[in-house]
Amino acid sequence: MALISQSSKDDTFEKDADLGAVLSKVVVESMKSFTSANNDLMAGKNYQSTGDIRTYLSGGSFVDFGGVDKNAVTDVMNKFLLGNAVNQLWRQQKIFILGGGKCGDGEGIGSGPKDYSVCRDGRAWYLYYWHEGNGDFLSEKQYGYVTMPPGADKLGKGDFQGVSISDVIESSIDSYNVAEYNYDANKAQERVQSALHDAWRNPGAQGPSWEGTFTIPVCDVSSAVGQNWKLKQYILEEYDKNARPCWCGPICSNDWDKTKRFINAANMGGFQSPKHVCQENGVKINY
């Protein structure tokens, strides 16, 4: 019987994001065309020989207000839209953020991928995608491995110039700090209104690193440093097709309930890979 080998490459991001990039460019260029005309009109320039603002406001009144450059606003909004599109795609996959230990690692809980990380307030945070295994019990890849999220290498370049890995991680951490795994549209609206009304932050100026743009599930594993858990040196891993993290304890804040909620938020409910070796070693896992 012939064996059919299928590629394990996940191109979901490329397919959807490429389409999104094309559509966003069309929308942005259309909006810029419109707002450029509006800017000219409001500046008193003659728009396509149809007259200037005085023609359109004849018989009425006009207050001279400089306002803002609407094209600049459009650019900012485009970054938010791209960020939201990437977030929606990634939230459907096994993509998550681990960290909380000292920058540079060396604390006995493994080490993460430096190129897909941020050092924030002396603590390191890493972006992961758990690529599912092929299900072949004879294969060493049956349980999958951790690598960069599909399309992550496109961020900060070309059509995704305005959104970076740092934005993904920073925004997700802030979202987590506010509402853990429950940062939804209502919370986003509430926080934006609060930030503007109480003037504690300017979401537009901050750009796509603003909380809520990304809500990738976060797990603070720093509490594992002082624990005597089996295989804790593999909690964090570098990107490698032979790298499979082992989570033999309540890795998220030393809390089983939070760890379970993280697992579910990261689309890994019922997923055996993080705990398989732990159970083989007689460790009871409560997620």
- Computed over every residue of the chain, the mean pLDDT equals 80
Instruction: State the residue for tokens 């795994």.
Output: 181
Average pLDDT over residues 179-188: 93
Most confident of 28-37, 73-82, 158-167: 158-167
Average pLDDT over residues 207-232: 95
| Residue-wise pLDDT tens digits, 19-46 | 455 445 544 554 444 455 555 545 555 5
| pLDDT surpasses 80 at 134 | no
Banded model confidence at residue 233, pLDDT cuts 50, 70, 90: very high
HSE-up of residue 286 (Cα within 13 Å, Cβ side):
10
Structure tokens at 208: 């796509």
Yes or no: say if 10 and 150 are a contact pair by the CB < 8 Å rule. yes
What pLDDT does 139 receive?
54
What pLDDT does 21 receive?
55
| Residue-wise pLDDT tens digits, 101-110 | 999 988 999 9
What pLDDT does 194 receive?
87
